[in-house]
Chains A and B, each alone.
Chain A
Amino acid sequence: MSKKRELIYYIPNIESNKKDLQYVHDVTSLTLGIGSGILTLESYKGFLLYIFGYTAVNLLFYFVCCNKKAASFFRKPFHEIFLEDILSDMPGFVMMWCLTYALVR
């Protein structure tokens, strides 16, 4: 018999937390896109800004919103906060980057 306790989750709160995290990620990726367009960054520099900025915002989210107890708000905290959305938010970032770059240049 395994002594491991099985946790029961409340699904609506999981959805709500995911929605909040998604909102923060969306705003972050679009704003970073605007920023790198204004600074007229090119090639890998823009992606570096994206990765560093995104990770910095995730750390802010982890320390401020989760209060360092991310396990009580997300099922897979590290994966969900830091890794899962970084690629799926990249198209939005590139879109805003191109748009502001074209407007500024």
Chain B
Amino acid sequence: MSSFAFFLIGGLLLAHSGYSSYELHQFAKEFGTELKSIPSDITLETIAGIMIVVIAAVGSINKASKLSINNEIVPPQNRYLKEIEMKKATKEHETIGINDYQGFESRISFIDIQKKRNEFSDWIKKEKHD
């Protein structure tokens, strides 16, 4: 959310400085004057806009915390990037309890829910009888 605000501010600054530059060039064209250089306020605004957008881009790649299988919030190991060494990368999976390929391993969309529920209710009934 905060990076969105930064993107917005930077974009507005760039748009404003672009419009100022456009007006300046139109003015120069209209009166036939030769522009020697861009005024320093437009330059500064452009540089500020570029810097804010870039900071927003760098800040927006941060990683969110994850919910572990024990219902605990696990913060990411590093705020921005992920460890590439196998032993460090899998440490996070162990604390969370699932890995990146959990979707392929458990195949949620292929589970026959009704069959599973029937099996469970049969088992419950059997337990109650015993």
Across the interface, name the chain B residue whose C-beta is closest to A53: B50
Instruction: Summarize A's interface: helix, strand, loop or mixed.
Output: helix
Please give, as numbers and ranges, the residues of chain A lying within 8 Å of B9 by CB-CB distance: none
Give the size range of B's interface with the partner.
20 to 34
Count A-B pairs with CB separation below 8 Å.
105
Q: How far is the CA of A100 from the CA of B55 in the complex (A)?
A: 22
Q: How far is the CA of A10 from the CA of B85 in the complex (A)?
A: 6
* Complex contact A34–B14 (CB within 8 A): yes
Please give, as numbers and ranges, the residues of chain B lying within 8 Å of A35 by CB-CB distance: 14, 46-47, 49-50
Q: In the complex, given contacts A14-B84, A57-B58, A72-B88, what are 5 additional A-B residue pairs having Cβ atoms less than 8 angstroms apart?
A: A7-B86, A17-B82, A31-B54, A38-B18, A73-B84
- Using a CB–CB cutoff of 8 Å, the interface residues on chain B facing chain A are 10, 14, 17-18, 21-22, 25, 38, 42-43, 46-47, 49-50, 53-55, 57-58, 61, 78, 80-90, 100
- Using a CB–CB cutoff of 8 Å, the interface residues on chain A facing chain B are 7-10, 12-14, 16-17, 20, 23-24, 27-28, 31-32, 34-35, 37-40, 53, 57, 60-61, 64-67, 72-75, 100, 103-105
